[in-house]
Amino acid sequence: MTTPRITLNDGTTIPQLGFGVFRVDPEETERIVSDALEVGYRHIDTAAIYGNEIGVGRAIAASGIPRDELYITTKLWNSDQGTQSAIDAMDLSLEKLGLDHVDLYLIHWPRPDLDRYLESWHTLEQLKADGKTTSIGVSNFHIPHLERVIGESGTVPAVDQIELHPAFAQRPIREYAASKGIAIEAWGPLGQGKYDLFGMPAVADAARAHGVSPAQAVIRWHLQHGIIVFPKSNSRERIAQNFDVFGFELTAAEMAAIDGLDQGMRVGSNPDEATL
């Protein structure tokens, strides 16, 4: 199965379904990412703070998959925001990944208390110009943060990666992003197990109707909304199952029922307050 691709506002394309390695044990990362690549994933989402870029890089090297068939994302951590520190952080990430460039580089959090995300954004523009990343974007940015970087730089982020799952659908940010041509990526797309998403009738009924798992139904919900999504699992069986989401389509009624689960229920940190 070839994963559908979304065209970003800089003219490049990104696989809509990827594999995330948040909280994947660095000692297990090479094995788990190798499993994902063997299953068919070609989009891997990591970050400096995850501590597993080396494992991702080893899996990439061992896979034998041509570099131009892979899409690799990593992220600038908060303590590295700035100018020279961001350049150094990018170079270190590339070294750990064993790559000469990534496909997408993101500012991981805005950290408005530090007030360095605009300076960092200008540095990402330079990193793109230098060929160290093909595209640049942000993560966990709210509308005022997006407005500021766009207004001050004139460069619209290619993506905004945000917490997004049925109980926290983030409609205002999604609508704003759509108006600016910013693609939305979902982290925690299955709610991180912090509430009984799979037991909710809208999800369970959709899964049962299509003979799929509740996780597959929720991943399909994301895809049909045009969201870029990276489910995560340490189990090869579930990694494969989460990739097998292109043989069915949720009905309009099923989509609406899952939409109706939105409670504005955040399970992660609030970017306006986070001091990670």
Q: Which of 50, 71, 105, 117 is catalytic?
A: 50
CATH of the domain at 140: 3.20.20.100
User: Which regions of 188-241 does DSSP assign to beta strands (E)?
Assistant: 228-229
pTM for the full predicted model: 0.96
Mean pLDDT of 175-195: 96
Asked if residue 267 is part of any domain, the answer here is no
Containing H/E element for 217? helix 214-224
Domains identified in the chain, total number = 1
Mean pLDDT of 236-240: 95
Asked if residue 214 is part of any domain, the answer here is no
User: Which regions of 69-171 does DSSP assign to beta strands (E)?
Assistant: 71-76, 102-107, 133-139, 159-163
* 1: confidence class by pLDDT, cuts 50, 70, 90: low
Give the separation between CA 120 and CA 197, rounded to whole angstroms: 36
Q: Is the pLDDT of residue 117 over 70?
A: yes
Which pair of tokens denotes residue 7? 């065209």
Asked if residue 60 is part of any domain, the answer here is yes
Asked if residue 221 is part of any domain, the answer here is no
Of residues 119 and 192, more confidence is placed in 119
Asked if residue 156 is part of any domain, the answer here is yes
* Buried-exposed string 97-130: b where 16+ CB fall within 10 A, e elsewhere: bebebbbbbbbbbbbbeeebbbebbebbeebbee
Asked if residue 136 is part of any domain, the answer here is yes
Q: Is the pLDDT of residue 191 over 90?
A: yes
Asked if residue 83 is part of any domain, the answer here is yes
Mean pLDDT of 136-165: 98
Asked if residue 158 is part of any domain, the answer here is yes
71 with 18: CB under 8 angstroms?
yes
Active site annotation includes 50: yes
Q: 242 is in which domain, residue-wise?
A: 11-192+231-246
pLDDT at 140: 98
